[in-house]
Amino acid sequence: MEFTYRASVLLSALLFLYYGFLCLFANGMAEEFRRFGLSRFRRLTGSLEILGALGLLVGLWVTPVMLAASGGLALLMALGVGTRVRVRDSLLETLPAAVLLLVNVFVFLYAWSS
């Protein structure tokens, strides 16, 4: 189970670093946030994703940081899933946020029980 936990942390951290930088700098993400009606939250979202990813990495050694980072990213992805549902995106478009939500809930619960 420890391997699954660490692999989940690393996968989530890498994906959130990637999506966070896309959110901050890619025109396509700016367009997506316009489509969602949330343009003013794009930079905040990208920054939170990057900070959360870094928190996951630091959290491998500091459990309270892991709990804050994984809990925060899970909340962020719950909001992302809600947004995708609100704009009537397909299941395929919603799936990445849903999977990252579940991964971060797993990481949170595993860290909590350690």
pTM: 0.94
CA angle 114, 51, 79 (to 5 degrees): 85
Q: Give dist(CA 33, CA 75) in Å, integer.
A: 18
Average pLDDT over residues 94-113: 98
- Residues 69, 77: contact at Cβ < 8 Å? no
Dihedrals phi, psi of 61, to nearest 5 degrees:
-115, -20
Question: CB 2: neighbour CB atoms within 10 A?
Answer: 8
Q: Which domain holds residue 75?
A: 2-113
In tens, the pLDDT along 14-64 reads: 999 999 999 999 999 999 999 999 999 999 999 999 999 999 999 999 999
Q: Give dist(CA 20, CA 42) in Å, integer.
A: 9
Tally the domains of the chain.
Answer: 1
